[in-house]
Structure 1
Amino acid sequence: MSEPILIAGGGIGGLAAALGLATQGFRVTVLEKASAMGEVGAGIQLGPNAFHAFDRLGIGDTARAMAIYVDQLRLMDALSAEEICHIDLGPAFRARFGNPYAVIHRGDLHGVFLAGCRRHDRITLRTSAEVVAYEQDGTGVTAVLADGERLRGRALIGADGLWSKVRRQLVGDGAPRVSGHTTYRSVIPTDRMPEALRWNAATLWAGPKCHIVHYPLQGWRAFNLVVTYHNDAPEPVAGKPVDAAEVFAGFQHVHPLAQSIIRQGSDWRLWVLCDRDPIEGWVEGRVALLGDAAHPTLQYLAQGACMAMEDAVCLAQSLSAHQGEVAPALEAYRAQRVLRTARVQLQSRAVGDHIYHPAGAHAALRNAVMAAKSQDQWYDTLAWLYGGPTQQEHTA
Structure 2
Amino acid sequence: MSSTTPSFLVIGGGIGGLAAALALAHDGHTVRVLERAPEFTEVGAGLQIGPNASRVLERLGVLDAVTATAFFPNRLTLRDAMTGERLVSLKTEDAFQNRFGHRYFVAHRADLHHALLTACRESGLVELLPGKEVVRVEPQRPGAVVHCADGTVHSSGALVAADGLHSRVRRLLVGDAEPVDSGYVAHRGTVPIEALAGTGGLREPDSMVIWVGPGMHLVQYPVRRGKLCNQVAAFDTRRYTQHAGDHGAQLRAAFAAACHDVQAGIALMDSSRRWPMLDRPPVTGWSRDGITLVGDAAHPMLQYLAQGACQAIEDSVALADRVAAHPGDPQTAFDEFEAIRAPRTARVQTAARAWGEVLHIDGMGARLRDAFVAGRAEDDYGVMDWLYGFDAADTHGAGPQAAGSARSEPAPDTTPHTPREIPA
> Normalized against structure 1, the TM-score is what?
0.93
The structure 2 residue matched to 1:318, chosen from 293, 298, 322, is 322
Amino acid at match of 2:216: C
Amino acid at match of 2:302: L
Task: Return 5+ residue gaps in structure 1 as ranges.
Answer: 235-240
Amino acid at match of 2:389: G
1:275 paired residue number: 279
Aligned equivalents of 1:266, 1:141: Cα separation in 2: 42
**CA deviation map 1:131-165 (0-9, x unaligned):** 23322334542122234432111211110000111
1:329 matched to 2:333? The reply is yes
After superposition, the Cα gap between the structure-2 partners of 1:97 and 1:385, relative to the gap in structure 1 and judged at 3 Å, is same
1:210 paired residue number: 216
Equivalent pair of 1:41/1:106 in contact (CA under 8 Å): yes
Matches within 5 A, 1:219-230: 219-230=225-236
1:131 paired residue number: 134
1:237 paired residue number: none
Equivalent pair of 1:190/1:221 in contact (CA under 8 Å): yes
Equivalent pair of 1:77/1:84 in contact (CA under 8 Å): yes
Aligned equivalents of 2:218, 2:142: Cα separation in 1: 51
1:51 paired residue number: 54
2:112 paired residue number: 109
**CA deviation map 1:151-192 (0-9, x unaligned):** 111211110000111111111112111110111112111111
After superposition, the Cα gap between the structure-2 partners of 1:81 and 1:140, relative to the gap in structure 1 and judged at 3 Å, is closer
Amino acid at match of 1:99: H
1:309 matched to 2:301? The reply is no
Equivalent pair of 2:45/2:230 in contact (CA under 8 Å): yes
Q: CA deviation at 1:2?
A: 6.4
Q: CA deviation at 1:108?
A: 1.1
Amino acid at match of 2:318: C
Equivalent pair of 2:73/2:104 in contact (CA under 8 Å): yes
1:200 matched to 2:206? The reply is yes
Aligned equivalents of 2:324, 2:80: Cα separation in 1: 48
Aligned equivalents of 1:217, 1:242: Cα separation in 2: 30
Amino acid at match of 1:330: F
After superposition, the Cα gap between the structure-2 partners of 1:198 and 1:271, relative to the gap in structure 1 and judged at 3 Å, is same
1:368 matched to 2:368? The reply is no
1:238 paired residue number: none
Q: CA deviation at 1:268?
A: 4.7
Task: Return 5+ residue gaps in structure 2 as ranges.
Answer: 407-424
**CA deviation map 1:41-100 (0-9, x unaligned):** 100100011111101212122122222111110000111110000000010000000011
After superposition, the Cα gap between the structure-2 partners of 1:14 and 1:320, relative to the gap in structure 1 and judged at 3 Å, is same
**CA deviation map 1:210-264 (0-9, x unaligned):** 0000001112221001100011399xxxxxx976434212111222332122112
1:367 aligned counterpart, secondary structure: helix
Aligned equivalents of 2:33, 2:6: Cα separation in 1: 13
Amino acid at match of 1:75: L
Amino acid at match of 2:88: C
1:70 paired residue number: 73
**CA deviation map 1:359-394 (0-9, x unaligned):** 1110011111112322443x1110010013145437
Q: CA deviation at 1:290?
A: 0.2
Equivalent pair of 2:209/2:219 in contact (CA under 8 Å): yes
Aligned equivalents of 1:362, 1:233: Cα separation in 2: 18
Aligned equivalents of 1:39, 1:233: Cα separation in 2: 32
Aligned equivalents of 2:257, 2:356: Cα separation in 1: 18
Aligned equivalents of 1:114, 1:218: Cα separation in 2: 19
1:6 aligned counterpart, secondary structure: strand
The structure 1 residue matched to 2:11, chosen from 8, 18, 22, is 8
Aligned equivalents of 1:223, 1:162: Cα separation in 2: 27
Amino acid at match of 1:231: T
1:76 aligned counterpart, secondary structure: strand
Number of positions where the alignment pairs a residue of Structure 1 with one of Structure 2: 388
Tell me how large the CA RMSD over aligned residues is.
Answer: 1.9
2:167 paired residue number: 164
Aligned equivalents of 2:270, 2:148: Cα separation in 1: 38
